[in-house]
Amino acid sequence: MSTYLDSLNEPQRQAVLQKDGPMIIIAGAGSGKTRVLTYRIAHLMKQGVDSFNILSLTFTNKAAKEMKARIASVVGNSESRNLWMGTFHSVFARILRTEADKLGFPTNFTIYDSQDSVRLISAIIKEKNLNREQYKPKQILGRISSFKNSLITVKAYFNNPELQEADLHASRPEVGNIYRTYVDRCFKAGAMDFDDLLLRTNELLARFPETLAKYQDRFRYIMVDEYQDTNHSQYIIVRALADKFGNICVVGDDSQSIYSFRGANIQNILNFQKDYPDVKTFKLEQNYRSTSNIVNAANSVIEKNKTKLDKEVWTSNDPGEAINVMRTISDGEEGRFVAQSIWENQMNHQLTPDDFCVLYRTNSQSRAIEDALRKKGIDYKIYGGISFYQRKEIKDILSYLRILINPNDEEALKRIINYPARGIGATTIDRLTIAANHYKKSIFDIIKYIDKIDLKINTGTKNKLRNFMTMMQSLQVESQTKNAFEIAETVVKKAQLIKDLEKDGTPEAVSKVENVQELLNGIKDFITDKIEEGGDTSLTTFLEDVALATDFDAKKEDDKPSVSLMTIHQSKGLEYMYVYVVGLEESLFPSAMSMNTRSELEEERRLFYVAITRAEKVAYLSYAQTRYRWGKLVDAEPSRFLEEIDDQYLNYITPKSTNPAINNFVDKSIFDDAPKGIRFQKPIQRKKMERDLVKKKEIIIPKNLKKVSQATSKPNLFDGNIVVGNFVEHNRFGTGEVIGLEGNGPNKKAEIKFGTVGKKKLLLQFAKLKVI
Ligand code: ATP
Ligand code: MG
């Protein structure tokens, strides 16, 4: 018996052995869904299925790479190399490269990233003289994106009175026209945005039956990971491709559907069962990733969601530590605490920084964590935020390269036509753009024929345009014979891209020059890798890899073991020994923008479920009592999600403050193993100590900190004047009678009999009870 089959439990093995027909695996976090997909592919190949006939769609390209490496260890490298694996976007971009001409696109089409798209939309809004407040480019792009992901073309939009009505209602009657112009411009520029990669694939498969048949024959076995987060456009592609053989295996977890804001549709799971009535359903229930405390705590949270499929998750792993809940005074303190805790855990348990991960709801939260880690000398890397390829100096070089491949690429051209400054001003660019639209040509073509058209451009500027064109054309000629690295190097030299930076000499400029060097190194690595893989080393392929790099695939400056920082959205499918989820505060998590409807709130809760279930051994949940948001210090309340975790899995700790003055009156150290009850000072005492310190001017208490200490001293929060027999009011459960009290300080709980939900044990510090 092969060893890989031995490393699976019974239901996992059955799913791996199920060779043909449609199948779906719906199972909770950490139950081995991705593992089953991986071994299933290996097993298919062992059974003689040609590796060319297998398509596997993953959430990141990195996940695909890791799966491939695993598969290679079972079937060998030469076979696994032929597998089609990657994100929807990268796989279908690859197909469009060979098929795009059928749709009227050049096969060397450019892929616009979201920055390019926003710039183009801004330009269109300006041309149409629309109000930028009313038509916010990012919002309009979001709307267009949602049309595309639902397969609503421009024509379909104009045939749909409801959609038009909605935009009219939102005082944006021009959305349809912007959409039309945007699509036209992209088409003319030979460019596709991210959503087009799916939309145009759908168009290709729908309009060209022989092309559809070709790919149906090719992809006889299709697998999709993280199926719960596919959108309509992706769903239709998968359905079309699997239509002939029906060998389709999807895996997912409805409780981890967290991308509905991008059009992901949880319904796809339910549709799947309708589309394939003979579907075989597999359930995996055993979690192998996490301690039982973590699994149970996560279950106790997700249980609160009304919309979910029935499934169990259990583990035979040890209980492990309780989940640590930490309260800190400010976001700065939170960062320092996390850094301190990571450092101590690393020392005490002989771990390396890559055993740790810090998760947050929004990107802007990373700053405080980064500062603290940097001060402690702990290496970290951030996923998301501005990726390497999005930096200005890098995008500028990439824009030159893009034009060499596709001279019609307007967004790239506009970026660099006057960079480095060569005296081609905004008015000239506007005139060129108008002429290009008028003659239905690209700006590049207009410049080529600048002597033949009267654009009221003066001779001096014309000369500058001519010089620019001469340079670009000579680079184009060179690009015919040089490899990607050589061309990039030539571009940097000829266009004098780092000359100014080198002269500048400021640390920022030096770091930009280093980034340019890093890009060149990156291209060299790309060529070496591709040669090894036997792949295509062309500039086109390089640019495509760059355009489709997800935040995870983006090039990192170095590969030292480091703490991973990322938003929860990006952490899907990953696992770390220690996980810190920070900023568990109302309005931050759940986000203020997602608290208005039950379905939004349920999505936030799923996000919280995803966060907790990333942890293998230990999880920390932290909240600050004050936080800088939008430049202001605001008071924060603990997140309702903390209250929702069954209390038996929690351990409340309050770290020693990093400010020694504050330490005198803040609770005992987290690493103190004193019993729960005496970890916290009595609020009254704390308040007095605080006042004394302020009087002695030993500390300056920010306004809000004062408020915090007042808040903590409200009698019913910790020491509580609630007694058995009181009637109390809870904001969700309504009125109830206190029938028991237990614990002390922040762990003090009241057992209450509510008229609505019966008996409940609530932590007083979260329950916000009013005695009535
Ligand atoms: P998620 O929902 O977070 O994507 P998942 O269901 O895809 O999780 P995996 O990542 O495949 O789960 O597995 C979680 C962890 O459990 C991995 O480290 C995996 O190697 C391990 N694992 C899964 N099944 C087994 C098994 N039968 N024996 C030992 N380890 C297993
Ligand atoms: Mg997975």
β partners of residue 56: 85, 223
Query: Which residue puts its alpha carbon closest to atom 2 of ligand 1?
Result: 29
Task: Name which residue sits closest to atom 18 of ligand 1, judged by CA.
Answer: 289
Indicate whether 439 pLDDT > 80: yes
% helix / strand / coil in the chain, to the nearest 5? 50, 15, 35
3, 31, 33, 35: residue to mutate for ligand 1 pocket, most atoms within 8 A of CB: 35
Q: Are 61 and 552 in contact (CB under 8 A)?
A: yes
For residue 229 and ligand 1, the question of a CB distance below 6 A is answered with: no
Q: Structure tokens of 331?
A: 């976001």
List the 248-252 sheet strands across, edge first.
84-86, 54-57, 221-224, 248-252, 23-26, 280-282
Tokens 């348990």 -> residue? 349
Task: Give the residue numbers marked as catalytic.
Answer: 33-34, 225-226, 256, 614
Distance CA 414, CA 12 (A): 53
* Alpha helices, DSSP H, located in 327-440: 331-348, 366-376, 392-405, 410-416, 426-439
pLDDT digits 0-9 by tens, 174-193: 999 999 999 999 999 999 99
654: pLDDT strictly greater than 80: no
Mean pLDDT on 23-39: 96
Q: Can you tell me the distance from the alpha carbon of 484 to that of 466, in angstroms, rounded to the nearest whole number?
A: 26
Ligand 1 centre to CA of 67 (Å) is 12
Q: Does 512 contact ligand 1 (Cβ within 6 A)?
A: no
How large is the C-alpha radius of gyration of the chain? Answer: 29
DSSP 3-state assignment of 48? coil
Candidates 513, 514, 523; CA nearest to 489 is 523
Give the separation between CA 354 and CA 702, rounded to whole angstroms.
Answer: 36
CA–CA separation, 341 and 358 (whole Å)? 12
Question: What does the pLDDT average to over 556-564?
Answer: 76
Q: Which of 409, 424, 414, 406 is nearest to 466 (CA)?
A: 424
288, 295, 609, best to mutate for ligand 1 pocket (most atoms within 8 Å of CB) = 288
pLDDT of residue 506: 81
Residue 8 in contact with ligand 1 by CB distance below 6 A? yes
Decide if 106 contacts 99 (C-beta within 8 A): no
Distance of alpha carbon 471 from alpha carbon 476, whole angstroms: 9
Asked whether 29 lines ligand 1 (CB < 6 A), one says yes
186 CA from centroid of ligand 1 (Å): 42
Kindly report the three-state secondary structure assignment for every residue of 538-602: CHHHHHHHHHHCCCCCCCCCCCCCCEEEEEHHHHCCCCEEEEEECCCECEECCEHHHCCCHHHHH
pLDDT at residue 551, rounded to an integer: 61
Give the percent of the chain with pLDDT over 70.
Answer: 89
Mean pLDDT, the chain, integer: 86
Cβ neighbourhood burial of 705 (10 Å; 0-12, 13-18, 19+): buried
Q: What pLDDT is attached to residue 404?
A: 96
The rounded Å distance from CA 315 to ligand 1 centre is: 12
Q: 174, 180, 185, 200: which is closest to 120 by C-alpha?
A: 185
Tell me what pLDDT residue 702 has. Answer: 38
Alpha helices in 18-113 (DSSP H): 33-46, 61-75, 77-80, 88-99
Per-residue pLDDT tens over the stretch 736-764: 888 888 877 767 788 888 877 778 888 78
Distance 320 CA to ligand 2 centre (A): 22
Q: How far apart are the first and last CA of the chain?
A: 68
Using DSSP bridges, classify how beta strands 749-754 and 734-742 pair: parallel, antiparallel or unpaired.
antiparallel
Q: Which long-range contacts (CB under 8 A, 24 or more apart) does 751-754 make?
A: 752/728, 754/730
Burial of 720 (0-12, 13-18, 19+ CB in 10 A): buried
Q: Which two tokens stand for residue 720?
A: 């509580």
The residue ranking higher by pLDDT, 531 or 694, is 531
Structure tokens at 507: 């640390």
Q: What is the pLDDT of residue 692?
A: 55
**Least confident stretch, 36-40, 49-53, 222-226, 675-679:** 675-679
- Give residue 27's identity as a one-letter amino acid code: A
Residue nearest ligand 1's atom 4 by CA: 573
DSSP code string of 606-647: HHHHHHHTTEEEEEEEEEEEEEEETTEEEE--B-HHHHHS-G
Residue 633 pairs with which residues in a beta bridge? 628
Q: Using an 8 Å Cβ cutoff, are 750 and 769 in contact?
A: yes
* Helices 703-712 and 683-695, packing angle to 10 deg: 150
CA–CA distance, 166 with 168 (Å, rounded to integer): 5
Token code pair at residue 176: 């349809």
The CA distance from 192 to 557, in Å, is 29
**Candidate from 367-371, 560-564, 627-631, 634-638 with smallest mean pLDDT:** 627-631
Query: At 633, is the pLDDT very low, low, confident or very high (cuts 50, 70, 90)?
Result: confident
Task: Tell me, using a 6 A CB cutoff, whether residue 12 lines ligand 1.
Answer: yes
Q: Which ligand is nearest to the CA of 313?
A: 1
Length of the chain: 772
Query: Token pair for residue 655?
Result: 């770290």
What ligand 1 atom has the least distance to the C-alpha of 287? 16
- Cα 199 from chain centre: 21
CA separation, residue 252 to residues 61, 233, 601 (Å): 17, 17, 21
The pLDDT score that the predictor gives to residue 749 is 83
Positive or negative: CA dihedral 731, 361, 704, 643: positive
What does the pLDDT read at residue 244? 96
CB atoms within 10 A of CB 215: 19
Q: How many Å apart are CA 542 and CA 444, to the nearest integer? A: 23
CB of 594 within 8 A of CB of 569? no
**How many other C-beta atoms can be found within 10 angstroms of the C-beta atom of residue 200?**
23
Angle, vertex CA 131, rays to CA 126 and CA 137, nearest 5 = 65
Asked if residues 29 and 255 have their Cβ atoms less than 8 Å apart, the reply is: yes
Q: Cα separation of 523 and 394, whole Å?
A: 12
The answer to whether the Cα torsion of 627, 632, 633, 638 is positive or negative is negative
- List pLDDT tens digits, range 500-542: 788 887 878 888 888 888 889 888 888 888 887 778 888 988 9
| Distance from residue 571's CA to the centre of ligand 1 (Å) | 15
For residue 701, the model assigns a pLDDT of 39
Q: What confidence score (pLDDT) does residue 696 get?
A: 56
CA 764 to each of CA 323, 385, 614: distance values in angstroms, whole numbers, following the listed order: 18, 38, 29
Collapsing DSSP states into helix, strand and coil, what is residue 332?
helix
Q: What pLDDT score was predicted for residue 665?
A: 36
Task: Render pLDDT for 202-227 as a digit per residue (tens, 0 to 9).
Answer: 999 999 999 999 999 999 999 999 99
Mean pLDDT to the nearest integer, 636-643: 92
Residue 416 has pLDDT above 80, yes or no: yes
Mean pLDDT highest for which of 163-172, 511-520, 588-597? 163-172
- Residue environment code for 299-336, b if the CB has 16+ CB neighbours within 10 A, otherwise e: bebbeebeebeebebebebeebebbbbbbbbbbbbbbb
CB 727 within 8 A of CB 736: yes
What confidence tens digit (pLDDT) does each residue in 61-102 have?
A: 888 988 999 999 999 888 888 999 999 999 999 999 999 999
Cβ–ligand 1 contact at 87 (below 6 Å):
no
Give DSSP secondary structure letters for 222-285. EEESSGGG-BHHHHHHHHHHTTTT--EEEEE-GGG---GGGTB-THHHHHHHHH-TT-EEE---
Q: How many alpha carbons fall within 13 Å on the CB side of residue 686? A: 24
- Tell me the average pLDDT across 346-371: 93
Residues in a beta bridge with 218 = none
Q: Kindly tell me the sign of the dihedral angle through the C-alpha atoms of 289, 290, 296, 302.
A: negative
Enter the tokens of residue 151.
């397969």
Q: Does 606 sit in the ligand 1 pocket, CB within 6 Å?
A: no
**Token reading at 9:** 């439990």
Q: In this structure, which residue's CA is closest to atom 19 in ligand 1?
A: 32
Q: What's the CA gap between 718 and 766, in Å, rounded? A: 10
Cis amide bond preceding 22, omega within 30: no
Cβ of residue 314 lying under 6 Å from some atom of ligand 1: no
| The pLDDT of residue 299 is above 60 | yes
Dist. CA 344–CA 562, nearest whole Å: 15
Crossing angle of the two packed helices 161-169 and 175-188, in degrees rounded to 10: 110
Residue 466's SS3 state is helix
| CA distances in angstroms from 207 to 90, 101, 231, 240, 349, listed in the order given | 21, 13, 21, 12, 59
Residue pointed to by tokens 């729960």: 676
**Residue 379: pLDDT band by 50, 70, 90 thresholds?**
very high
Q: Evaluate if residue 273 carries a pLDDT over 90.
A: no
Position 216: which residue type? Q
CB 654 within 8 A of CB 327: yes
Kindly give the distance from the C-alpha atom of residue 457 to the centroid of ligand 2, in angstroms, as a whole number.
Answer: 58
